Structure 1
C-alpha cells in the first residue's frame, strides 16, 4: 500500500507536475516502499515527464525500459524519440531499442535519415558488447534464419555482407545468444564445414539430450541437430559414447535418418553391409533390425538394403534368405541403386526359370544406371546388345511409296521396324509386335515358328524410337497377325517382301 508521501506524489503527478511524474516513474521503474515494480506504468509517467523536458526521464527510459515494454504501449512509434535522445547522450542500450523500434517499421513509416540513424545506433550497441544488438545486427545482413531488418541486395556487396554477418553472429554466439549459436551451426552444416558445425552444434545437442526427458517433447531443430552431430562425429572418425546417445535421442523422436544411423551403429556396419571395426563392442542385430525397420517404414531406402545385408550374415541369429530377398526388393523399389543392380543381376542369372526375368533384369539395371551405378551399364550391354544394322531393310525403305504402304501397311511397318531395330528378315516377318513391346525394350522371339532362333532384347534408346514404335504398333491394332489374317502365312509374307526387293 502506498504511504502518505507516495500518495502526495501521485496526486502531484496527476496534476501535471513534471518532477512528480519523474519521481513516480522512477519509483515504478525500480519498485519499493508501497509501490510495485511495473515497467509499463513507469514508462507512462516517465513519458509524461519527458514531454515536459525532464532530461532524467528520457535517460531512464533509454537505460531501463526494454523494447518488449515499449511494444505493448498504445503508440510505440511515438516513444522512439526518447530512445533517440538517450542514444545521442551515450546510452548504448537505448540504441538497441531505437533500432528495433525504427527498423521494425514498414518501409515509408519512417524517414530514410531516421532509418540510417537507427542502423548506426544498432552498430554502436553491438560495438558496446550488447549481445542482443550483435545478433540483431547479424540478422540485418540478411542470411541468418531470422527476420531481417535491412537487406543488402547488391551482389557486389554480398561477400562483405556475409563476412560481417558471420562476424557479428559469432560475437553474439560467444556472448551466449542461443539463436546465434543455432544459426551458425546451420550455416556451417550447409557450407560443409563439419568441424565448425560441431563447434557450435555439439554443445547445443548434448544440452538438449540432458534437458529434455522425453525425446517426443524435443523441437525439430534439436532433433535434427542431434542426428547431424552424430553423423558429423562418425565422419570425423570419432566413435565415442556421444554418438549412440545423440542417435537414440533423435531416433526416439522419430527422425528417420537417425533411426537408420542408429540401426547401422548397433549392427556395426555401414550402409553397404560391411563391418565397421572402428565402432567398439559387438553387434546387436536384434536392436539394429528394430531401428532399421522403423527407418525403412519412413522411406529410407538405405535401411531396406541394410536389412537385406543383415539377414544374409551367418552370425545373425535371425538369418533368413527369404527375408533378405524380400528386403532387397523393397530397397530396389524404394530407389536404392545397389539394390537395383543386385536384384537385376539375380534375375539375369535365373532367366531360365522364367523367360521374362531378362526383361525384369533390364528394367532394374536401367534404374540402377539412372542412379549412377557404373556397373549397371556393362550388364545392360550384355542383356540387350545394341542392334546391328539391317541393310536389307534400309535398302527397301526408300522404295516404300504411299501406294505400296496403302496396299501392304503391315509389311511396310515391319520393314520400317527392321530398319530401326536391326531385325533379320525372318524376325521382321514373324514378330508379334504388340507382344514384343515391353516398354523399355523390344523382345524379339520367333522360336514358336523357328525353334533354332534366339530370343533377344533390343533397347528402345530414345523418345524418337519410342514414338516410332508406338506408331508402328498402331498399324497392327485390331488386326489378326496370325496366318489367317490379312498378312497371310510366313511364305506369303516372304514372297511379297522379295517382290519389293526386286523392285
Structure 2
C-alpha cells in the first residue's frame, strides 16, 4: 500500500508541480516510500517535468539550464534497456544521447555512455537490439545533434564502442564493467555469432544448443520454445520435454526476456506439466506484462477485471484498465473491446450537453482581464470546460477534485466524499483537447486556496449566477463569430 508521503507527492505531480514530478520519478527509480521500482514510469514523469520547464521557459523567455541539467542527471540513473517499448523510451533515448555528448556532469555523462554502450553492443541485449534497429528505421528517434541523426544503427554502435573504450581506459565506477564487456566482445562473441548464424541459415540444432549453453539469450529462448512447442500442439508434449523447456526459458527470463516469462506462464498452466502451478503462472505473466509484453498486459488486465469485486483498490477497475490500455497501445485488437467495458468514451465534446456553455467559458477565460471576474468564477469556467470534454453530470461538474482527475490513460471521477451513493466513473482520455483541458485546469487549481469554492450549496448558487452571466455576455458574441 502506498505511503501517505508518496500519495502527497503523486497528487502534487499530477497538478503540474515540477519538483514533485522529479521526486516521484526518483521514487520509481530507487523504491523510496515503499514504491515499486518502475523505470518506465520514472521516464514518464521526468518527461512531464522536462516539458513543463521547457514550456515555462518559452512563456517567460528565460531558460532554466540548472533545472534541465538536474533532470538530465536524474535520467542517467534510469536503466534505459528496461524501458524499451515503453511510452517514455523515445524521450529517454534522446536524453541519454544528449547527456553522452555533453559535459553537464561528469558522473551523469559517464553513466549515459555506459548505458548506451550496454544497450547497443552488449550480447545480453541481442534480443532487444534487432527491435531497436527496427524502431530506429521507423523514424522514432529524435536527436538534437544533426550528426547523430544521420547515422544508422551500425553508426550508433560504432560510437557506443568508442564510449566503451573510453570507459575502459578511464578510472571510474564503470571502468571494470566496460573491461568485462570488451572481453565478452572478443572471440567468444564471434563464436556465438557464428553459432547463431548457423542456426538461422541452416537450422542446425546442435549450433542452437551450443549458443544457448554459451549464454546467448535469444538462443535460450528459441531452444525453450522449440522444446515446449508452444506454437504447435503442446498438449502432446511429454513432461520431460516441458521440464527441459522450462529450464531454458527460466535462464532466458533471468536475462530479462519478456517472451521467456510469457512462455513460462503458459507452461506452468499445462496440466501435463509436473510443476503445474497457477500462482507461479500468474507471477510469470505479470512479470512479462511489467516488461511490456502486450499479450501478457492484456491477460493481466483481464485477470484484474475478473477479480475486481475482491480488489481493495479505491476505484475498481483502474489497475485493470491501465494494463489493458497498455496492451491496446501496442496494437492488441482484443484489448479495445475489453477496454470499452471498463472505460467510458466521449471523444466528441460537441455531442455533450455542456458544449455551448463550454464555448462561453473559454471566451470568458480568454477575456478575463477585460471582465475582471473573481478567481472562483475562473475555476468554475475550467470545470465547465472539463465537464464538456468528459460529459460530466452537473454533480460531477461541481464536486470533482480537478487535481485528482487525471491518470495516465483516463480520468477518475469520484464524488463519494460528498455524495456516497454515486459510483466513480472511469473515462478514457482520447484527444489532445482533453489532455490540454486537464493540464490547463490543473495549473489553475494548483495555485488556488483549498476552500475557495466552498460547499455544495455555495457551488450551486455560484454555478447559476455564472452560467446566466456567461450566456448573457457571450451568446451574442458567439453567434456573431460563427456567422463570420
Q: Normalising by structure 1, what TM-score?
A: 0.50
**Cα offset, 1:337, TM superposition:** 0.9
Query: Which whole-Å CA distance do the structure 1 matches of 2:425 and 2:380 have between them?
Result: 22
Query: Which whole-Å CA distance do the structure 2 matches of 1:328 and 1:465 have between them?
Result: 33
Q: Does 1:492 align with 2:453?
A: no
**Cα offset, 1:454, TM superposition:** 2.9
* RMSD over equivalenced CA pairs, Å: 2.9
Aligned to 1:322: 279
**Cα offset, 1:371, TM superposition:** 2.0
Q: Does 1:364 align with 2:323?
A: yes
Report Cα offsets for 1:111-134 as digits up to 9, x if no partner.
xxxxxxxxxxxxxxxxxxxxxxxx
**Cα offset, 1:250, TM superposition:** 0.8
Query: Which whole-Å CA distance do the structure 2 matches of 1:440 and 1:405 have between them?
Result: 32
Query: Which whole-Å CA distance do the structure 1 matches of 2:381 and 2:242 have between them?
Result: 62
Structure 1 residues 396 and 365: alpha-carbon distance in aligned structure 2, compared to 1, 3 A threshold: closer
Aligned to 2:289: 332
**Bigger shift: 449-458 or 225-234?**
225-234
Query: Which whole-Å CA distance do the structure 1 matches of 2:316 and 2:198 have between them?
Result: 44
Query: Which whole-Å CA distance do the structure 2 matches of 1:421 and 1:329 have between them?
Result: 31
Q: How does 1:325-474 map to 2 (within 5 A)?
A: 325-352=282-309, 353-355=311-313, 356=315, 358-387=317-346, 389-392=351-354, 394-395=356-357, 397-398=359-360, 400=364, 402=368, 403-404=372-373, 406=375, 408-474=377-443
**Cα offset, 1:268, TM superposition:** 3.5
**Cα offset, 1:359, TM superposition:** 1.9
Aligned to 2:214: 253
Query: Which whole-Å CA distance do the structure 2 matches of 1:429 and 1:304 have between them?
Result: 46
Structure index of larger Rg: 1
**Higher percent of residues as helix:** 2
Query: Which whole-Å CA distance do the structure 2 matches of 1:475 and 1:329 have between them?
Result: 38
Q: How does 1:43-442 map to 2 (within 5 A)?
A: 219-230=188-199, 242-243=204-205, 245-270=206-231, 275=234, 283-352=240-309, 353-355=311-313, 356=315, 358-387=317-346, 389-392=351-354, 394-395=356-357, 397-398=359-360, 400=364, 402=368, 403-404=372-373, 406=375, 408-442=377-411
Whether contact under 8 Å (1:436, 1:444) holds in the other structure is: yes
Query: Which whole-Å CA distance do the structure 1 matches of 2:208 and 2:328 have between them?
Result: 32
Query: Which whole-Å CA distance do the structure 2 matches of 1:396 and 1:332 have between them?
Result: 40
Query: Which whole-Å CA distance do the structure 2 matches of 1:326 and 1:282 have between them?
Result: 21
**Bigger shift: 453-462 or 249-258?**
453-462
Structure 1 residues 216 and 263: alpha-carbon distance in aligned structure 2, compared to 1, 3 A threshold: farther
Aligned to 1:15: none
**Cα offset, 1:501, TM superposition:** 2.8
Whether contact under 8 Å (2:358, 2:381) holds in the other structure is: no
**Cα offset, 1:216, TM superposition:** 12
Unaligned segments of structure 1, at least 5 residues? 1-214, 235-241
Structure 1 residues 396 and 297: alpha-carbon distance in aligned structure 2, compared to 1, 3 A threshold: closer
**Cα offset, 1:369, TM superposition:** 1.8
Whether contact under 8 Å (1:338, 1:373) holds in the other structure is: yes
RCO comparison, higher one (Cα < 8 Å, 6+): 2
Query: Which whole-Å CA distance do the structure 2 matches of 1:377 and 1:233 have between them?
Result: 40
Unaligned segments of structure 2, at least 5 residues? 1-183, 470-484
Report Cα offsets for 1:274-328 as digits up to 9, x if no partner.
6186x8x764233222211111122321100011111112222212222111111
Whether contact under 8 Å (1:359, 1:438) holds in the other structure is: no
Whether contact under 8 Å (1:348, 1:361) holds in the other structure is: yes
**Cα offset, 1:502, TM superposition:** 2.8
State the SS of the aligned residue for 1:474: helix
Q: Normalising by structure 2, what TM-score?
A: 0.51
Query: Which whole-Å CA distance do the structure 1 matches of 2:431 and 2:355 have between them?
Result: 20
